[in-house]
Amino acid sequence: MGMYFDEAPKTERKDIFNYSEQFEKLLSSLSEGRRLITIEGRRRTGKTSLLLSCLNEFGHPYVVLDGRAFSSSPQVRREEFVELLEDSLNAFLKRERRLGAKVVDALKHVQGLEPSAGTTAGISLRWGPKPRDTVNISTLLDALSEEAVKQKTTFVIALDEAQEFRKIMRYDLTSVLAHAYDYCRGVQFVVTGSEIGMLHKFLRVDDPKAPLYARAAVRVELPGLDADKAKEYLRQGFAQIRVRVADEMLEKVSQRFDGVIGWLTYCGFKAREEKELGERTVEEAARLARRMVAAEFRSFLGLYRSDRYEAIMKSLAGGSRTWAQLKKAVEAEEGMAIGQSEITKLLSNLEDAGFVAKSDDGAYAIPDPMVSEAALRGLSRTA
């Protein structure tokens, strides 16, 4: 039997609740050899869990580059990215013991790459101010692809939270992706993103001037759970850990945290520690959730410095608002008139980052109840 109430991303299908349609879509796209697949979903909807458990089942060797490493930095230096790439490749070589030595052998002619000394297969990547001092990532992918074909398999390269890679200075990773998409038939990419607007702005498959223009990507979307599914998740999760809970508590929790599976999991995890689900446990889970949200909002502000974002969030914490109402709210906060395009820009940045959603009727709202709770208390004050 599976175990739902574990904080870490899931790595096996048996621990994945629901989302079987998305799982099948991802798995079949990988099996069909699709070269570019995106997993899109708000924060904590289960993207990493879906990715890892599906890669495990697919069985091909994979490399995961976790963009989260850069989430709190406004900019990423090229060498920081090269370091992340080196670590991720070494993790892959370590996992793929049988293949490791062969892959290292295939890569050793890549400019800026050296097999590392020692008994286990590993590599080190060079970085320097001049192009010839730096690892050539396109050739690296060519070599990986060739080796995969030789081994009659494909290598999956997953970019988790791919929008973070847009921050790499003076380096457009998408042009490398485009090269690999066109020429590397041994390599498949899966990219995930919780800041969906940012992800699209990074990939720009619809922009004729962008490297990835017109490359077809399979899209796997992860929506939140509806109220019934959320309660069912909790019910099954508590049955797994043999904690009895009143139906009324399940109702309360699913209302408070809505269908965000990550929040429901935190709440379950706290209850698992305490061996009961009481009001106090729920409060504690919500407090932790608000703290996480506030930290994420601070990272966002590191990039988009303006007090106006918080004024908008505070207004939205009271419920959905129209564009005009939000404009008034920001103006009231500052005591002066603000241009239309400024308001539109502020809202579009909040929307791209996933803090705010615009409904079909044009009203703006905060889709995640924990973001609302944190905004109500003041996002930059919630510690």
Picking from 152, 138, 77, 76, the residue whose alpha carbon sits closest to that of residue 110 is 138
Give Cα 154 to chain centroid, integer Å: 23
Buried b (16+ CB within 10 A) or exposed e, 134-159: bbbbebbbbbbbbbbeebeebbbbbb
The stretch near ligand ATP (CB under 6 A) out of 9-17, 105-113, 200-208, 312-320 is 9-17
Q: Interface mask (CB under 6 A) for ligand ATP, residues 177-196, using x and -?
A: -----------------x--
Contacts of residue 352, Cβ cutoff 8 Å, sequence gap at least 6: 195, 196, 197, 198, 201
Q: Cα separation of 87 and 66, whole Å?
A: 10
261 touches, from Mg ion, ligand ATP, none (C-beta below 5 to 8 Å by class): ligand ATP
Contact between 7 and ligand ATP per CB under 6 A: yes
Contact between 321 and ligand ATP per CB under 6 A: no
CB 61 within 8 A of CB 155: yes
372 touches, from Mg ion, ligand ATP, none (C-beta below 5 to 8 Å by class): none
- 3-state class (DSSP) for residue 125: strand
Residues 34 to 73: which contact ligand ATP by CB under 6 A? 41, 43-49
Q: Which of 265, 281, 349, 372 binds ligand ATP (CB under 6 A)?
A: 265
Contact between 272 and ligand ATP per CB under 6 A: no
Contact between 6 and ligand ATP per CB under 6 A: yes
Q: Could you tell me where the beta strands, DSSP code E, fall in the chain?
A: 36-40, 62-66, 113-115, 123-125, 155-160, 187-193, 218-221, 357-358, 364-365
Contact between 19 and ligand ATP per CB under 6 A: yes
In the bound complex, which residue of the shown chain has the CB atom lying closest to ligand ATP? 46
CB 74 within 8 A of CB 164: no
CB nearer to ligand ATP: give 43 or 270.
43
Least distance (Å) between residue 54 CB and ligand ATP: 11
Interface positions with ligand ATP (CB under 6 A)? 4, 6-10, 15-19, 41, 43-49, 194, 261-262, 265
